[in-house]
Amino acid sequence: MSATRVLFGDQLRLGMTDRLAPAIRAAAASLGPQGVGALYTLGGAVRRAETGVEIIRHFTGQSAEEKLVREAFVAADQGLHDGTARLAAMLDAALSASGEAIAAGIHPTLLSRAVSALFPEVNAQFAACTAPFGDPAAVLRAFDLPEEAVTALRAALDQAGQEGHVEVSEHPEPGIECNASQGFIVDMKPLIGGTHYHMERVSVLVVNDVIRDLKPLLPVIEGFAKSDKSLFIAARGLEGDAKQLLERNRVAGILRVSAFEPVDKGPRAAEMLTDLAVASGAEMISEETGRSLAHLTPDMLGAASALQRQGDRITFLEPKGNGDEIALRLRGIAAEVVRNRYLALDREHAQRRHSRLAGRWVELSVGEDPAQPGLLARVERAMKSARSAQAHGTIAGAGKGLSAVAARIEIEKPETQEERAARRILERALRAPERVLRRNAGLDDGYGNWGADLPELSDPADLSRSLLEIAVSLALQMMTLEAAVVRT
Q: Is residue 27 part of a domain?
A: yes
Q: Give the span between the Cα atoms of 378 and 257, in whole angstroms.
A: 43
- 143 with 45, same domain? no
Assess whether 84 and 153 both reside in one domain: no
Distance, in Å, from the CA atom of 433 to the CA atom of 86, rounded to the nearest integer, reads 6
Same domain, 8 and 127: yes
- Give residue-wise pLDDT tens across range 108-117: 888 889 999 9
- Indicate the number of domains in the chain: 3
In a 3-state reduction of DSSP, which class is residue 58?
A: helix
DSSP per position, 343-399: -HHHHHHHHHHHHHHHT-EEEEEEE-BTTBTTHHHHHHHHHHHHHHHHHH-EEETTT
Looking at the fold, whether 284 and 157 belong to one and the same domain comes out as no
Q: What is the CATH number of the domain that holds 376?
A: 3.30.260.10
Q: How confident is the model at residue 447 (pLDDT cuts 50, 70, 90)?
A: low
Cβ(412)–Cβ(423) below 8 Å: yes
**Residue 115 belongs to a domain:** yes
Residue 36 belongs to some domain of the structure: yes
In a domain, 428, yes or no: yes
Domain's final residue, options 373, 392, 411: 392
Q: What's the pLDDT tens digit per position in 62-115?
A: 777 777 778 888 887 777 777 788 888 898 899 889 888 888 888 888 888 999
- Residue-wise pLDDT for 272-290, tens only, equals 999 999 999 999 988 777 7
Same structural domain for residues 230 and 262?
Answer: yes
Q: Both 409 and 280 in a single domain?
A: no
Residue 172 and residue 367 in contact, taking contact as beta carbons nearer than 8 Å: yes
- Residue 351 resides in a domain: no
Same domain, 226 and 207: yes
Q: Are residues 115 and 163 in the same domain?
A: no
Query: How confident is the model over 221-267, as pLDDT tens digits?
Result: 666 666 667 888 888 888 887 787 777 766 666 667 888 899 888 88
CATH number of the domain encompassing residue 266: 3.50.7.10
Report residue 343: phi and psi, to 5°: -115, 95
Q: Are residues 199 and 292 in the same domain?
A: yes
317 and 191 both lie in a single domain: yes
Query: By residue range, what is the domain housing residue 473?
Result: 4-132+394-487
pLDDT tens sequence across 200-231: 888 899 988 888 877 777 777 666 666 667 88
Q: What is the CATH number of the domain that holds 478?
A: 1.10.560.10
Residues 435 and 448 in one domain: yes
3-state class (DSSP) for residue 149: helix
Domain check: are 195 and 231 in the same one?
Answer: yes
* Rounded CA separation 111/102 (Å): 8
In the chain, the percentage of residues whose pLDDT exceeds 70 is 83
Domain-located, residue 346: no
326: in domain: no
Residue 340 lies in a domain: no
